[in-house]
Each structure stands twice: as structure tokens, then as C-alpha cells.
Structure 1
């Protein structure tokens, strides 16, 4: 029945998936006899999901209904009794309209979700893995620096914002001989072929190694390694996970459920082409070690903040103020 809806009656399937999606997906870890059939019916948001149209449609509908309701209320205010009744009806109509908008927006968003079959069908011939990223919300995921390389190369990434996804998707393993791989993993096989301009801007050699040493000292044993990033385009740093580490979103959820997992050490990736990194290297050469260390710690903690792993935001803000003080300091003072 559900397979028939997905194929022939998509509106019914979207209604079902919107209501029972998390429960349905959890069947991957319990209904092993139907595991393959369930996998075919999974739907995900992705970096190619166009949910902006649904938001605009809902906003337009909301404005139209507000105007209509105001007009109706205005015409109905002939007597005090009619006015009271009108206000009660307005609230009822507005509540019903709001519920309808939520349903329509949800239905439109589901219509843009992608199946694994569709994802694989539009993969480039050179792409060997199905990429995904999990997090607390779609907006948070879309701002994650780890997506920069994939957006630049127009490689689709599944965005897993449903809490149950973190538990079931890694267990799929592979689909049609394509491994599912979290882009949080440090060991991704990415094509690193910078253009001539990027090559000329990139920090290399001993200068980069000296800067790495500062980052390692500031991050301490909380990081497994500090490496040059191949996935960053616009950001200076990001945190990834080692081969044996847990997905950071899954790790946070496990802790919320009082499941002790320990804390996986991260890999700190640095963008050697970023202006801040190049400027820090020049400052290091000029002997401004204290400032360079301050900035290194601030960049590292900024990456932790984006990961939801920063324990001391007060210290982070105080350090940011100090960095701004140094940046605005008069050279002759």
C-alpha cells in the first residue's frame, strides 16, 4: 500500500510520511525482513532541496488570509453583539488557517525531499559515495562549513535533520553498491585540484607547519590532529571526526539520553588559502606570537561553537573582545 502511494498517489504518501516518518524509518533497525523495501521509501532533504518556494507560498497565503479576515471583521462590526461574535469567529478561522498553512508548508517541503534512488540517478559518474550530514535543523546544516567544497563542486549532500536519521542512516551501509558516507569524516576521498589563483594564495611548507604547531598547542589533546583542509572554501577552520570517531550529532544525542560514549577527539582542518590564516603566518614571522596564539584559540573555539561543543561561551566572548582590541589598537601606542 505505502509503495503504491509513493508511486501513484504522492500526496497520500507525503501525508503518511509527514505524520509517521520517524516511526517508519525506525523500522530499518527492527523489521529486517522488509529492510530493503523500507530503504526504497526513505526520503531526505538535500542541498538541492528547494524549500524556499514552500516558505514563500505559505507567507503569501498568510498575508492573503490576514487581509480577508480583517475585511470580514470590519464589515461585521454593526453591533456590539455581532462584533463579539465576529472576534470569536476570527480566532477560530485564524487558528484553522494557521493549521492549514502548516500542513501545506510541510507537504510542499516533503515534495522536495529526495529518495536514495533519485540521489544515485543524478550522481556524476566520478562520484563513488552517497554523502550526508546530520544536525539539529536544516538551517544549521545549510550553514555548516563542511558543505563548502560540495556546493562548489555541485555535489549533492543529504541533510539529516530528523533526530531518528542519526541512528538509522549510518546502519544502511550502502545503497546500490554506493557507500553512505558522512561528510564529517576526516578521511573523505576528495578531489583536491585548486586553480592557479588558489595555488598562489595557499600557505605551504614550513610556514604552514609552524602555524599548525600553534594550533596543536592551543587545542591540546582535544584534537587528534591538525591538517590542511581540502573541503573548506570560504571558512578558515572546521572540525571533522577521525575514522573511528562517532558522528558529532549522534554523540550529542547519546549524551542527552544518558548513554555514555566518551568524547571522540576531532581533527582540526585549516584552510591554507584563507586570508586570516595567511595573515596569522605573517604575524608569526613578525614575532607577534601572543596575538597569533589568541587568534588560533579563538578560531578553534569558533569551530567548537558551530559543532555545539563549546562549554565556555563567556571565555569565548572575552577572548573575542581582546582580539578586537588588538585589531583596533593604534600602531604608535
Structure 2
């Protein structure tokens, strides 16, 4: 592990391949940091109990703030937040019943969107608990939708909010459902997701 890596980053998934492909790892990998892949159901529960190893804390790459940006990068994100405030306000309003926040991502580099949670219950832990006989529907990880500040999609969404605000609702739900699918989480209405995608493709190809 690199000397400047202060935390032991980890991610949980069904397989090493899925862990390797997760978009939330992009900035961690760019830094050259190592990531521990957890592929057994009990792994993350053990990590929660251990909390650290050789005085280095464990840190999920899909939870909380990774704090990997330089001061210059943070300033650029701050400026982007100010210039795209209308976009985030609109998406938050659409998704207010399913996410606790919509914000710019400090972990994405190439993917346009991802879903993360606060510290505590993770998405993988939620899946494991949901399989138990006495599972409670309320045992869900906090859902936070993150958008990549460097992806051209964000500028496109700004244009949508400005010129065709009625379309932001479908766009918001498509982004959220995409993020859920990447996390291996079920989407509430697959038929509606399919319809929205089809409508979007028709609109794009007609231009």
C-alpha cells in the first residue's frame, strides 16, 4: 500500500469483477491507492467490527466523503456547484422521496452518476439483511445521488432546466434508476424506466 494512503479503502460486491468495475473507485484508482475487495456476505460486517488494521482505518469508497481532491479541484467543484444550482434543486425536488441528497461527486472521473450512502449501513449490508427471514423493509441505507462535475451530461442537464424544464423529471428518474442498477439495487418501476429511456432515445435521434 502506498505510504501516503492514510486509509484502507474497500468495496463490497458479488465478485472481484464487479468490485473492480464500480464507478466510485475511479478517483481512488487515479491516486494509485489500493482497494480491498470484499466478496463474502459477512466481510463488511467484520470490517465494521474491526474498524482499523495496523492503525489505519477502513474506509468504504461508496460511503461518506473520500476527501481525495486537491484544494484547486475542490475550488473548481465549488464553482460548478454555484453554476449548476438550478439543476440540483430541480433533481432534488423530483427525487425528494427516495434520496436524502443530490450533489456533485468527488469520487467520479468518467461515469456521469453514482449512488452512495452515509456512514453506517451500506448498500451491500442492506442486501444481506434483506435476505434474512425477519428482514424489515425499513432497514435501508441512505441514498445520495452524485453527479460527476466533469461529465458533459451536467451541462446538458443545465440546458434542459433552462430551456425545457418539463423534461427534467424523466431525466432525474433515469439517472437515479441507472445509479440503482449499477449498485445492484432493484428499481421501483422497470416498465417506466424502459419507457423513459425509449422516449429519450426517440427525442435524441429525431434531432
* TM-score relative to the length of structure 2: 0.88
The answer on 1:284 being equivalent to 2:161 is: yes
Deviations 1:64-94 (A, max 9, x none): xxxxxxxxxxxxxxxxxxxxxxxxxxxxxxx
Q: What is the Cα deviation at residue 203 of structure 1?
A: 6.8
Give 1:133's match in structure 2, choosing from 3, 8, 11. 11
- Structure 1 portions without partners, runs of 5+: 1-121
Query: Alpha-carbon deviations, 1:92-137, whole Å to 9, x = none?
Result: xxxxxxxxxxxxxxxxxxxxxxxxxxxxxx222x321111000112
* Structure number with bigger Rg: 1
Runs of 4+ in structure 1 off by over 4 angstroms are: none
Structure 2 distance, partners of 1:247, 1:304, is 13
Cα pair 2:99 2:145 within 8 Å, conserved:
yes
Question: 2: CA distance between counterparts of 1:138 and 1:211?
Answer: 35
- Distance in 2 between residues matched to 1:207 and 1:156, nearest whole Å: 34
Greater length-normalized contact order (CA 8 Å, ≥ 6 residues apart): 2
Cα 1:211–1:169 change in 2 (3 A) is same
Kindly indicate whether the alpha-carbon contact (under 8 Å) linking 1:228 and 1:270 is maintained by their aligned counterparts in 2: yes
CA distance in 1, matches of 2:169, 2:206: 18
Q: When you count helix as a share of all residues, which structure comes out higher?
A: 1
Which one of 97, 112, 130 corresponds to residue 255 of structure 1? 130
CA contact (8 A) 1:222 1:265 kept: no
Q: Which residue of 2 aligns with 1:159?
A: 37
Deviation per residue, 1:176-198 (Å, 9 max, x gap): 11111111112333234567xxx
Distance 2:157 2:108 in 1: 17
Aligned length: 203
Q: Secondary structure at the match of 2:154?
A: helix
Q: Could you report, residue by residue, the CA deviation over 1:11-37 in whole angstroms, capped at 9, with x for unpaired residues?
A: xxxxxxxxxxxxxxxxxxxxxxxxxxx
CA distance in 1, matches of 2:9, 2:124: 16
- Root-mean-square deviation (CA), in Å? 2.2
Kindly provide the CA deviation profile for residues 196-242 of structure 1, in whole angstroms up to 9, marking residues without a partner as x: xxx5x997254311100121122122211112111000011111111
